[in-house]
Every structure is written in C-alpha cells, then in structure tokens.
Amino acid sequence: KNQVEQSPQSLIILEGKNCTLQCNYTVSPFSNLRWYKQDTGRGPVSLTIMTFSENTKSNGRYTATLDADTKQSSLHITASQLSDSASYICVVSRDTGFQKLVFGTGTRLLVSP
C-alpha cells in the first residue's frame, strides 16, 4: 500500500533552536518528494521538491534530505522562528501528474518564545 508516515505528530521547541522532522514512505514507483508548510487556516505552501537523484535541497533555513534507498526524508529547520509554527506535510509522487500524490498527515510544530 502506498503510504507516507511522518514523525513526530507534534513538536514544541524554543525559538532559536534547530529541529528535524522525519518522513518515511512506501510509495512505488517513486517520482519526487515534496515538503509543504501549512499555517493554521491557510493552504499548504511548497518548500522543497526533490527527485530520485537529489539527496539534499535547501530553501533558506529549511533543508530537506532524501535517502531513496531507505525511503526516508527529513526536513531540518535551523534557528527556528515564531513564524515557523505550522504543520509540515511530506508528499510523495508515484508518477508524473499531481493525481499521483500521496500525502502524509503532517507534523505540527510549535515554536515557543
């Protein structure tokens, strides 16, 4: 079964600290892996997109890694800010075409002052 599992479900960190969110997937065949940020009451916003041949991609303080052999990805947030408080969703595509996306349930991050 094509699944995307994220951990932890929720996380609280102090402002300025770093954190890492995990994503494991069983989706096959693999096309690409995406990380989205979703603020409360808003739609998801794309952070990074990685294909099979890419093992790391950065977007400002966000760095995503991909290990296609173990089917694992992580999202590392450096020097967290209050505005990083959001849900982070891992999404894996089975093929070209957005109808093939498999969404994780997300990690809810709260950055505390």
Per-residue x/- track, 50-79, other proteins (CB under 8 A):
-x----------------------------
The backbone torsions φ and ψ at residue 32, rounded to the nearest 5 degrees and listed phi first, read: -160, 165
Handedness of CA 85, 40, 90, 2 (dihedral sign): positive
Return the half-sphere exposure (C-beta side, CA atoms, 13 A cut-off) of residue 50. Answer: 26
Among 62, 72, 102, 108, binds other proteins (CB under 8 A): 102
Q: Is 31 in the site for other proteins (CB under 8 A)?
A: yes
Among 27, 44, 66, 107, binds other proteins (CB under 8 A): 44
Q: Is 42 in the site for other proteins (CB under 8 A)?
A: yes
- Cβ(21)–Cβ(105) below 8 Å: no
Of the two residues 25 and 80, which places its CB atom closer to other proteins in the complex? Answer: 25
